[in-house]
Amino acid sequence: MRIDIISVVPKLMESFFAHSILKRGQEAGHVEVVLHDLRDYSLSKQRQVDDYAFGGGAGMVMSIEPIARCIRHLQSERSYDEIIYMTPDGDTFNQQTANYLSLQGNLLFLCGHYKGVDQRVRDMFVTKEISIGDYVLSGGELAAAVCADAIIRLIPGVLNDETSALTDSFQDNLLAPPVYTRPAEFEGIAVPEVLLSGHEAKINEWRFEQSVERTRNKRPDLFKKTGL
């Protein structure tokens, strides 16, 4: 997979992709993440990428020309399965979307800033609009990083234990069960006995029941979706 990210502050994301699982995923050749500075595609001497909103009002709008130049440059090198605009008015990101995007070959993320991009960018280039929740961030960069992390860890081979993504919370609309490690007893509080039994079927049954209970109690909205 290849992920291109267009931003006015690419430096903000550099260190994020240079660490841990995301770094390993790139080093092992499972994914390539390339950051692009939108200002490199500006036509003005001052490398300007925004302008006043037609019709007035507070806040600047990201201009279409630099974005169009950048996207077309990238499209001349490869075709993109999705061109994703990160915006608080997009569709809320979830595990299902992460699963879908992890199966694609080339993804292009455009990070919004200021009052957002000229609507014609959305009409002409964007195939998917994503928000990470109902709150406003100062830019789409952190949101794009969140999505990229959720996507990259699903690519086969990126996680050490390939089955571990399958048992994540949300994969089947159920929250993950409680987990324990040594010591088996801490200040008089013991680990549930079944986990020490070595009886795999019983352990799986216990974990499933715990997942169901947790989801029912903490996330009744999710629980409804399980059909249980």
The site for ligand 6GU (CB under 6 A) is made up of: 86-88, 112, 130-133, 135-137, 139-140, 143
CB of 12 to ligand 6GU, least distance (A): 13
For the chain, the residue count is 228
Distance (Å) of CA 62 to CA 59, 87, 128, 179? 10, 12, 18, 46
Residue 209, sorted as left (phi over 0), alpha (psi -120 to 50) or beta, turns out to be alpha
CB of 138 to ligand 6GU, least distance (A): 7
* Strand order through the sheet with 82-92: 32-37, 2-7, 106-111, 82-92, 128-131
Between 66 and 140, CB nearer to ligand 6GU: 140
CB of 177 to ligand 6GU, least distance (A): 29
* Exposure string for 146-183, b = 16+ CB within 10 A, e = fewer: bbbbbbbbbbeebbeeeeebeebbbebbbbebeeeeee
Q: Is 112 annotated as a binding residue?
A: yes
Look at residue 171 and give its three-state secondary structure.
coil
Between 137 and 222, CB nearer to ligand 6GU: 137
CB of 131 to ligand 6GU, least distance (A): 4
Query: What phi and psi values does residue 25 have, to the nearest 5 degrees?
Result: -60, -35
Taking each helix axis from N to C terminus, what angle separates 20-27 and 141-152, rounded to the nearest 10 degrees? 60
Q: Is 51 annotated as a binding residue?
A: no
Between 146 and 165, CB nearer to ligand 6GU: 146
Between 128 and 207, CB nearer to ligand 6GU: 128
Q: Which segments of 182-219 does DSSP mark as H helices, in order?
A: 200-218
CB of 132 to ligand 6GU, least distance (A): 4
Q: Is 137 annotated as a binding residue?
A: yes
Between 66 and 112, CB nearer to ligand 6GU: 112
Q: Which tokens hold the place of 111?
A: 């990070």
Distance (Å) of CA 171 to CA 46, 96, 120, 189? 47, 8, 35, 30
Between 126 and 174, CB nearer to ligand 6GU: 126
Q: Which residues are annotated as a binding site for S-adenosyl-L-methionine?
A: 112, 132-137
Which residues belong to the annotated binding site?
112, 132-137
